[in-house]
Amino acid sequence: MSNISIQLPGLDLKNPIMPASGCFGFGKEFARLYDLSKLGAIMIKATTVEPRFGNPTPRVAETPAGMLNAIGLQNPGLEKVMSEELPWLERFDVPIIANVAGSLLEDYVDVARRISTASNVKALELNISCPNVKHGGITFGTDPVIARQLVEAVKAVSKVPVYVKLSPNVTNIVEIAQAVEIAGADGITMINTLIGMRLDERTGKPVIANGTGGLSGPAVKPVALRMVYEVYKAVEIPIIGMGGVTCAQDVIDFMSAGASAVAVGTANFVDPFVCPTIIDELPKKLDELGVKSIKSIIGRSHR
Amino acid sequence: MIQQERMSVVRQEQIAKNIYEIVLQGKIVQDANPGQFVHVRVSDSYEPLLRRPISIANINKEANEFTLIYRAEGRGTEILSQKQIGDEVNVLGPLGNGFPVDAVPEKGVALLVGGGIGVPPLYELSKQLNKLGVRTIHVFGFATEDVTFYEDKFSSLGETHYVTVDGSFGSKGFVTDLLEELSPEFDTFYACGPLPMLRALEGFYPNKKGYLSFEERMGCGIGACFACVCKTTDKVEKDYVKVCYDGPVFEKGVVKL
């Protein structure tokens, strides 16, 4: 059987599969279904300084082979994540990647400083790409200068490696990737959702209360794959790829394009067992390809 | 326990205009309670992508079967309506918290109020209440006669009244009009239907025990995606509840209406 373990800054992964932030809550719901220790890592839901309720409903709408969401970073706030959610996750043998969000640069710094001290948080994921909040989020991820400032500020306080989650809603994603690399980011996670809209057939008005939402699911995979492919060529730091992953072949595709690990997002909503299923499938798929160690396929599209 | 299972289609029938009744067989049935729902994947591909939450209308544990009643009105439910006997359907469930059947005093009376496609879960509830010796009164509203169903089934369980918006079946108007006219005597009410109906009921019966089943657009159905959250009233500690996980049935006064 192929070896599927992967080592990344701060992360010793049993396998390269992890649920994506926002698609897995803080793990509790899925822990009723399977042992979370099976996962390579868990990217927990974005955490902000204060608790947030999020956007009005409807917050989701289905689209061809995909869905739009505008949840609005609903989360219980830093205090509760530190005192309840993270300690609860300690029962599992799995590294946590804490997704950090905020409205102002100071918010990111405050969350990063505290959350990076939790014993099971092995890395941060800076959310500079949420398309569904009025302040913060994507505004930090679409300008290379602002992105660089934010990453530098967070790097200065974080006790663990810092990954930056990039938005696909930019003209040139390579430019942002390079900016965060220069700022000292330890890795990149990509992509967040693509801003989209669906209209109600009768009224002609947007279905989602927020108007727009972030598109995810199999529909975005070609876009995500192209972006990972481009960024891999331009940076030295590792990439955790995501966007429409539903099966082991998708994981192999993202790793071939240049990802060192892969996150599974929307597919968790369709098949809550999708992550363990992929983890079981992956070694078999690699055996079929005659691959001994998964590391050897990273970036093979470029060779 | 929540399971994902390929259940087989035992029967499928159109019982009213665009309203279908599908009977599925599988292990999940053994854990099902009235008011709970299942999350149905209508296709093995990722198109359409999301599951469809459908409430459980009738449970037959001896035969390992339950019945779902749904309206075929979008891509997903239309595909479901084409399933044939022997086909398999990927079902996740049972999900959520159902109606508490023990919330009526012994030999008491329960009022069951339903609106449109909110009526189905009240059937299993009524069956179980009757089995416990509770007398049930059913008051159901529909848009028009051609979308009504189960009148004979509910009538065999207790006093049953139907009302349609256009008066084509039963009396004319909304359930609230009919309730005003009937002013039934009861101990506990159970309701499932559109928000305005639930809101009106809370106002109608401020001193009665009541349980409301909510409907909200869902993603995962298991509490992870935060799509179906509702704000709560000041009476409860939590700021919000998830319809899929904390509900879909809530005691009256919990969800901000």
- Shortest distance between the Cα of A300 and any Cα of chain B, in A, equals 27
Among A91-95, A256-260, B105-109, the range scoring the smallest mean pLDDT is B105-109
Bridge partners for A189 per DSSP? A165, A240
- SS3 for A253? helix
Work out the pLDDT band at A140, boundaries 50, 70, 90.
confident
| Assigned domain for A205 exists | no
What's the domain range around A294?
A: 6-54+71-193+216-302
- Shortest distance between the Cα of A96 and any Cα of chain B, in A, equals 17
d(CA B163, CA B176) in angstroms, rounded, equals: 10
pLDDT tens digits for B68-106?
A: 999 999 999 999 999 999 999 999 999 999 999 999 998
Helix (H) or strand (E) holding A122: strand A121-127
Question: Using a CB-CB distance cutoff of 8 angstroms, which residues of chain A are in contact with residue B4?
Answer: 271-273
Number of domain units in chain A: 1
The chain A residue lying nearest B217, using CA atoms, is A58
CA atoms within 13 A on the CB side of B78: 5
d(CA A178, CA A169) in angstroms, rounded, equals: 16
Cross-chain Cβ contact B225/A23 below 8 Å: yes
- SS3 for A191? coil
Beta-carbon contacts below 8 Å between A and B: 100
Q: Which of B17, B118, B227, B150 is nearest to A25 (CA)?
A: B227
pLDDT tens digits for B24-56?
A: 999 999 999 999 999 999 999 999 999 999 999
| Assigned domain for A287 exists | yes
CA atoms within 13 A on the CB side of A146: 14
- Which region, left, alpha or beta, applies to residue A92 given φ > 0 means left and ψ of -120 to 50 means alpha? beta
pLDDT computed for residue B93 by the predictor: 96
pLDDT tens digits for A39-56?
A: 999 999 999 999 999 999
A275 is catalytic: no
The chain A residue lying nearest B49, using CA atoms, is A65
| Assigned domain for A97 exists | yes
Q: Express as a percent the part of chain A with pLDDT over 90.
A: 95
Does pLDDT of A136 surpass 80?
A: no
Does pLDDT of A133 surpass 90?
A: no
Bridge partners for B230 per DSSP? B241
pLDDT computed for residue A39 by the predictor: 98
pLDDT tens digits for B146-167?
A: 999 999 999 999 999 999 999 9
pTM given for the model = 0.94
Closest by Cβ to A71, choosing from B47, B227, B245: B227
**CATH code at B101-213:** 3.40.50.80
Rounded to the nearest 10°, the torsion over CA A118, A123, A129, A130 is: -30
The chain A residue lying nearest B39, using CA atoms, is A270
CA atoms within 13 A on the CB side of B122: 34
Closest by Cβ to B216, choosing from A57, A62, A63: A57
Closest by Cβ to B49, choosing from A71, A74, A270: A270
The chain A residue lying nearest B42, using CA atoms, is A270
Does B181 contact A at CB distance below 8 Å? no
Closest by Cβ to A217, choosing from B46, B216, B230: B46
d(CA A77, CA A134) in angstroms, rounded, equals: 18
**CATH code at B3-95:** 2.40.30.10
| Assigned domain for A66 exists | no
Q: Which of A110, A88, A89, A91 is nearest to A101 (CA)?
A: A110
d(CA A112, CA B141) in angstroms, rounded, equals: 53
Domain harbouring A141, CATH code = 3.20.20.70
Strands B135-142 and B109-115: parallel
Give start-end residues of each CATH 3.40.50.80 domain in chain B.
Answer: 101-213
- SS3 for B163? strand
